[in-house]
Structure formats: C-alpha cells, structure tokens
Amino acid sequence: MILKNTFYTDWDCESIGERHLPENEYRNAFEIDRDRIIHSTAFRRLQGKTQVYVTGQSDQYRTRLTHSIEVAQIGRSVVNYLNRSSEMLTVDYEIDSALVEAACLAHDLGNPPIGHKGESRLNELMDNWGGFEGNAQSLRILTDIVRGDRRSYTNAGMQATRACLDSILKYKIVGKENTQNGAKFLYPEQQEILSWVHHDQRLDKLAQSGTQVRPIECAIMDLSDDIAYTTSDLFDGVKQSLLTPEQVEQFWNSQYPEVSKKIRSEVDQVLRNQFPMSRFIAGLIGRWIYSISIELANEPFIAIPRYKYVLKMAEESHSELMALRALNYNLIYNSDYVKIPESKGVEILEELFLYYRDVVFEKRGVLEPLPLPTGISGDFDENQKMRMICDFVAGMTDNHAIRLHSYLKS
C-alpha cells in the first residue's frame, strides 16, 4: 500500500487506529478511506435525507446523497484540472483525487434529517451537553460510529488517515462555549482527535484562536460544496417553478445590482425557456473549475505540502457564484415551499429528541414500537447518554423520523 506521490508523507497516511489489511492490498491509504465511507451505513442514509426540498415532494430533487456525489465529482474534477494545469504540481507530486473524494463524500454525514434548520435546533437542545454541529458530527461518525462500537469517544471508528480527517474539518474551534455568534465548533471530547490530526500544539492554538487552519484538500472540498449546492439548488428551484423572470429581475435591481450582465442574461434566458437549464448549469460548473488555481501560502502553518498551498478562484467566477448564492437564499430558501416543511421537520426532531431523553432518564415509559438507541442501557454517564440520543435522532432518515413521530402521536 505504497503511495508513490511525494505530495504526501507517511505521517499523512497514518491511520487513527490499526488497519488490518492484506499483504497484496492494491489501494492506497486514501482510496481505502473513500471506499469505507461509501460502504458505510451513514453514507447510505443520506439517500433519505433532505438537501433543500423535502424528499417525497418530487422524484427529481437532490437528496444529501446525490448532493454528496455531485460534490465529489466536482472535487475530483478540480483536482484533475489543478494537477494538469499548475506548474507547481507534477506527476509524482500532486493532489490525491481519492483523498478529496473522501472528504467530499463525508462532508454531510453528520447532518440531521428534514432540512438545515434541524441542526440549529438540535444544537439548542444539546446546549447543556456540548451542543450539536454537523461538521463535528461528521467527525464523530468517522472516528466513533462507523465500524466502531459506539461506546468510546476515543474509538478508532473506520481507522481513517490523518489527512482524511484533516480534509473534512472545516471548523476546528473546540467547545461551543468558545465560539461567538453561532460559529461552528467541535465537541469537547474531540480535542484528543484534533490534537492527533494536527500533532502540533501550534496548530491547535491557531485553530482555537479562530484562525482558519486547513489543508488544500479541505479548501477544495469546501469550494466544491459551494459550487454543487448553488447550482443544484437553483436547478431544482427552477424545475419547481419557484422563480419567475420578473421576481429575479426585481431581486437583481433592488438587492444585487452588482450582478454581472452575463449571469443576469443567462438566468433570464433559462427562466424564459430560451436556453436549457442543464446546459446552463454544466457550463457554469465548467467555467468555474477552469478559473480555479493554487498559490503558495505566505506563511504555511506547518512544513508539509498539504499546508503549503491556498486555493484561488478568479474574481469574475467568484462574483458569479456569490450572486447565485444570494439569489437562492432570498428567493428559494426563504420560500414557503421550503420553509413550511422545514419548520415541520424541526418540530418532529424536537419531539423525538425530548421523548428519547425522557425515556432514557426514566421520566416516561417506552412507547411501542419506538426503538431505543443501540447500547444506551450500558454504563454511561449523562453526557454520553445524551450524545447517543443525539446520534440516534440525527442519524435518522426523513421517513424514519416521520414514521417514529407518527407512532409517538398516535
């Protein structure tokens, strides 16, 4: 399992926990990361979790699964383009596409069902027990729940590599209490894992101060996610007729006058059925990828290649991306078609969470046929039990949560 790529060191490929592999293993360390994520239960469940439009409203909408696959495809294309176009990369010194795919496929594993608002509500409900955050939950799934026994915060989980875990960690402040204005965070018990990933106290301190400390693969994953959800959410919104040419024109004029004439014209043509939506989206993604480059970091946080480079996007492309994101937020995400089912989803998650909390701490009896979280009757303290309840509720698919809630209300 030799990685013949000097961009990565043995330190990058070291796994958290021992991997038991055959002598003739044909995959590199990062291909194993990717494959284990794809074959995990947590990844499969994404097919039943809402991206923006609640699953079941239409057969065409993206789910968390199709979104993650699209992010991985864009991430792989970005890597392939950079490896071919950048003079700083060579055939034996290049960004590993399997590593970026792994990060892209895993980036939403921790998100709860039925829309984005569930994450903030679970965070409020877990306020006394470390909070809830999607990125932190993804790390927990990879290091504790996938291939683990769900009993130890230091469980090795799927034995992911250091570089893989580092690539999914967009946010590295440990402890909800150390953040401000709703900033993202890691759970307190994840400090040990973060320190193992960094293996450098300077990086821990920089991250805790709020400095963005992330490798190039994480930056590629993050931008690929932005590109994927901006284009796909717009696509699904147009297909559902949530936008009219008049609405969009009014939005550009009143709230986003700096939008380019090119984007204004292209969106208008799509809405008036003068240009195919699929070709518009494909063209956008293509030209945005071609506008991406890497540069040397002014002061690398650590002397390894993953931290030596920063990702750049041409100003014109970045402006187009920001304009379409603003359009989505104002006219799609704030539409009743999205907000009403999402609000109902928050209510379902809250009532299920409170039910399981009360059952586990013997404030009420068990209602059949609602199952209890696996292993929760063991010898765990209050914080551990609350985290396991949160794992259970956040891990549900939309239909599972709705079905259990119907039993609760019957």
* pLDDT computed for residue 152 by the predictor: 46
Percent of the chain past pLDDT 70, that is, above it, reads 95
Per-residue pLDDT at 246 exceeds 60: yes
Could you tell me which residues come within 8 angstroms of residue 109 by beta carbon, excluding any fewer than 6 positions away? Answer: 37, 40, 42, 43, 46, 137, 138, 141, 142
Domain-ending residue, one of 208, 230, 254:
208
Instruction: Report pLDDT for 62.
Output: 87
380 and 307, same structural domain? no
pLDDT level of residue 296 (50, 70, 90 thresholds): very high
Q: Which of 208, 239, 264 is the last residue of a domain?
A: 208
C-alpha 273/C-alpha 261 separation (Å) is 18
327 & 342 share domain? no
> CA 253, CA 265: separation in Å to the nearest integer?
13
pLDDT at position 288: 98
- Has residue 200 got a pLDDT over 70? yes
Question: How many domains are contained in the chain?
Answer: 3
Do 297 and 265 belong to one domain? yes
pLDDT for res 155: 52
Q: For the segment 267-280, what is each residue's pLDDT rounded down to a tens digit?
A: 999 999 999 999 99
2 part of a folded domain: no
Q: Say if residue 258 is in the same domain as residue 279.
A: yes
- What CATH number is given to the structural domain containing 195? 1.10.3210.10
Mean pLDDT, residues 335-357 taken together: 92
- List, for residues 47-102, the tens digit of each pLDDT value: 999 888 765 556 678 899 999 999 999 999 999 999 999 999 999 999 999 999 99
Residues 198 and 227 grouped into a single domain: no
Q: What is the DSSP string of 243-257?
A: --HHHHHHHHHHH-T
Residue where one domain finishes, among candidates 166, 184, 208: 208
CA separation, residue 241 to residues 233, 237, 268 (Å) = 12, 6, 13
CA-angle at 86, arms to 83 and 89, nearest 5°: 60
pLDDT given for residue 375 in this prediction: 82
Instruction: Say what the pLDDT of residue 151 is.
Output: 45
Cβ neighbour number for residue 322 with a 10 Å cutoff? 15
Residue 401 pLDDT > 90, yes or no?
Answer: yes
What does pTM read for this prediction? 0.93
- Give the chain's mean pLDDT: 90
Domain limits for position 266? 222-331
